Amino acid sequence: MPRDLKLYIAGVVAAGAVALVATTFVIPINPMIGGGFRALGEYSILAGLVFWTLVTLLASALPVRMPRGTLVGVSIAPLIAATVLGGPTAGAWVALLGTTEIREVRGRIPWYGSLANHAGLLLPTVAAGIVMRLFGVPGASSELVTLAATMLGSAAFFAINATLTQRSCR
């Protein structure tokens, strides 16, 4: 493996680890993520995280094949949904755990590739959550603000993810 690629992978993984730790300790998970599980009381947030992680796992298992053969993951939708509801920390944990692919489980991807793939989704998810947070999402004053913040956060996600993906393919 070329030295530049090793450094790139190490940098992305380190940045992802720092982002995960920082958000976990600085930004609490918004209880809105457990809204559908209020009957579970203090475990509703955990239930929401598990739910969105499972939805993301399902989406990660069903990539879409484009006309020229490229596989596109559709896990961005549940990642953004988890981030809208629970904030950047919730999105980060869902990205870390929920983007596991069957190829990883079967050992078709080397461990460092799996780490880079997860970090390559975790970083844009955290960035999207921070953009949304600037507008007060989750819990914004209106649906229009939530929509606008979600669109801007999603655009940030897409731009950062595309940049990281493009860089790793060089």
pTM of the entire predicted model:
0.91
The total number of structural domains in the chain stands at 1
Domain of residue 83 covers 3-63+70-168
In whole angstroms, what is the distance from residue 111 CA to residue 130 CA? 28
Q: What is the pLDDT of residues 116-157, one digit of tens each?
A: 999 999 999 999 999 999 998 888 789 999 999 999 999 999
Q: What is the pLDDT of residues 42-86, one digit of tens each?
A: 999 999 999 999 999 999 888 888 898 887 778 999 999 999 999
- The residues, any chain, with a CB within 8 Å of residue 80's CB and separated by 6 or more, are 91, 125, 128, 150, 153, 154, 157
What's the rounded mean pLDDT across residues 86-97? 97
